Amino acid sequence: MKKIAAILLTFLIAFAFAACAGTETPKTETPTAAVQTDETQTAETPTPDVQTDETPTPDVQTGETPTAEPALSCLVYVSIVDQNGELVCPQKDITVRDLDADGKLTIDEAFIAAHEAEYPNGKDGYASGESQYGLSIYTLWGSDEGRSFSYYLNGKMAGGLTDEVVRGDFLDAYVFADTTAFSDTYCYFDMRTALVGKGDAFTLKLTKQAGFDENWAPVFDKADAGVQIVIDGKTTEFVTDENGAVTISIADAGEHVVSATSAALEGVNLVPPVCLVTVE
Ligand SMILES: [Ca+2]
């Protein structure tokens, strides 16, 4: 009996060891599970970030910024066109947070927030850092090396990533699809949103960036005739006239993403613009 008990005990101890060791094995054996855990952790990190965002409040109490409570977050509308010329983020509502707690909400922070909210792999799709031109985009919508980027705030070329954004701003960014001649041309509709009835005709006017003046300030002009309107990703028969204007109508009720393509036009390479149309 004693022998059996001893054997049993040995087994138990061995089993306990194995069990202890076993607790660690899944981590190495199932990397997928580990990755998932990592992802969950990454996904959860915004919460502590948000808490960090709120820490400026004690700072305010300390008297560093005695004037008022800084605006710690605001809602802006972000559009992003990827390296294939696809409108991957059509004027989405994005809550920008003061990630570095400097009391300013910047274009950089808006891009971080936009990628966290809209990019498939979250904030991995975006990176910025110091360059000879100041804070610069390194990665936009997952595109990095050998790529160039451009962004406009409320239809105007932005000064830099540290420019501040305020509630209701429209931030449009794109990756240059043309990596040799950089022909990608920014353009925008005169209306960012529209509310229309089913089948009701309404007119949009398209303006494009048309080079630079002698001070390197962007010059804008009416878009070309023959630019086709794209509704919810489908190219339609609506085309711009010689004034860059186009009258369209949408029969289906609901929210629609109206954009445009210059694919049919030789020598014109417009970056897709956005107007979000609600049809009632
Ligand atoms: Ca900030």
pLDDT of residue 53: 42
Helix residue ranges per DSSP H, 63-181: 107-118
170 and 206 fall within a common domain: no
Confidence class for position 146, pLDDT limits 50, 70, 90: confident
pLDDT higher than 90, residue 52: no
Distance CA 144, CA 112 (A): 15
Q: How far is the CA of 264 from the centre of ligand 1 (A)?
A: 42
Q: How far is the CA of 112 from the centre of ligand 1 (A)?
A: 11
Confidence class for position 159, pLDDT limits 50, 70, 90: confident
pLDDT of residue 190: 97
Residue 125 located in a structural domain = yes
198 and 161 fall within a common domain: no
Stronger pLDDT, 66 or 167, i.e. the higher one: 167
**Closest CA relative to residue 78, chosen from 88, 91, 62:** 91
Residue 54 located in a structural domain = yes
Distance CA 10, CA 2 (A): 12
Share of the chain above pLDDT 70, in %: 75
Residue 32 located in a structural domain = no
Residues with CB under 5 A from ligand 1 (ion): 98, 100, 102, 104
Express each pLDDT in 219-253 by its tens digit: 999 999 999 999 999 999 999 999 999 999 999 99
Domain containing residue 280:
185-280
173 and 189 fall within a common domain: no
Residue 7 located in a structural domain = no
State the total domains in the chain: 2
Q: How far is the CA of 96 from the centre of ligand 1 (A)?
A: 9
Distance CA 280, CA 163 (A): 37
199 and 107 fall within a common domain: no
Share of the chain above pLDDT 90, in %: 69
Query: Where among 179, 211, 243 does a domain terminate?
Result: 179
Q: How far is the CA of 38 from the centre of ligand 1 (A)?
A: 27
Q: How far is the CA of 110 from the centre of ligand 1 (A)?
A: 10
pLDDT of residue 71: 54
pLDDT of residue 142: 97
152 and 78 fall within a common domain: yes
Within 8 A by CB and 6+ apart from 276, the residues are: 90, 91, 192, 193, 194, 255, 256, 257, 258
Domain with 110 in it: what CATH number? 2.170.130.30
Express each pLDDT in 80-117 by its tens digit: 999 999 999 999 999 999 999 999 999 999 999 999 99
Distance CA 188, CA 171 (A): 11
Say if CB 111 and CB 137 are below 8 A apart: yes
pTM: 0.74
Distance CA 231, CA 238 (A): 10
140 and 193 fall within a common domain: no
61 and 172 fall within a common domain: yes
Residue 23 located in a structural domain = no
Stronger pLDDT, 27 or 168, i.e. the higher one: 168
* CB neighbours of residue 243 within 10 Å: 12
pLDDT of residue 123: 83
250 and 234 fall within a common domain: yes
Residue 14 located in a structural domain = no
Confidence class for position 158, pLDDT limits 50, 70, 90: confident
50 and 164 fall within a common domain: yes
Q: How far is the CA of 192 from the centre of ligand 1 (A)?
A: 26
Query: Where among 179, 209, 236 does a domain terminate?
Result: 179
